[in-house]
């Protein structure tokens, strides 16, 4: 599991948050927090603080954060994973994209009123976030995300 690599993303990299969560990484983000508040959270929660803000990065204690260079979120993801020499693992697609909580399988009957009738009739297995109540299922979007995870794994192949 990716427990040893947990991230805190500042507001300059909010597009990266969803990508890290998709890969199964515990990734926190907060809007409108001061740099000092972000530093405290990163330190106390033992999170890697990711930023694009050069001045903020220059003030960080050594080894607390990383200055992301890439512009596009997918490129940022590959950059961060390569920098820390980590790969998405079996926990990819296991976190809520919205709130970061691990998702859980839920009894199908409990989501009947939370998804449209067509989705309910097509899919047998559903997952939900116990924190924000978002419901997930393994539809065509899920397959596309699985393919993205594989693409990222290939892009992150570490030099032997």
pLDDT digits (tens, 9 = 90+) for 32-49: 899 999 999 999 999 999
Strand-pairing partners, residue 15, are: none
Tokens 């919205």 sit at which residue?
Answer: 98
What share of residues in the chain are helix, strand, coil (percent, to 5)?
40, 15, 45
CA-CA distances (angstroms) from residue 66 to 12, 17, 59, 89, 137? 13, 14, 12, 21, 34
With a CB cutoff of 8 Å and minimum separation 6, the contacts of 121 are none
pLDDT digits (tens, 9 = 90+) for 95-133: 999 999 999 999 999 999 999 999 999 999 999 999 999
pLDDT of residue 160: 38
In the predicted structure, residue 140 carries a pLDDT above the cut 60: yes
């Amino acid at each position: 599991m990716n427990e040893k690599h947990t991230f805190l993303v500042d507001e300059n990299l909010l597009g990266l948050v969803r990508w890290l969560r998709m890969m199964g990484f515990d990734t926190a983000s907060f809007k409108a927090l001061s740099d000092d508040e972000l530093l405290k959270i990163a330190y106390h929660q033992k999170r890697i603080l990711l930023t694009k803000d050069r001045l903020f990065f220059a003030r960080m204690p050594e080894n607390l954060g990383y200055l992301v260079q890439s512009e596009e979120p997918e490129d940022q993801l590959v950059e961060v994973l390569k920098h820390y020499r980590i790969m998405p693992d079996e926990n990819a697609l296991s976190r809520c994209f919205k709130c970061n909580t691990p998702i859980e399988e839920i009894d199908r009957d409990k989501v009947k009123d939370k998804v449209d009738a067509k989705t309910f009739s097509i899919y047998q297995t559903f997952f939900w976030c116990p924190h924000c109540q978002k419901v997930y299922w393994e539809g065509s979007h899920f397959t596309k995300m699985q393919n993205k995870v594989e693409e990222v794994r290939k892009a992150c192949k570490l030099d032997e």
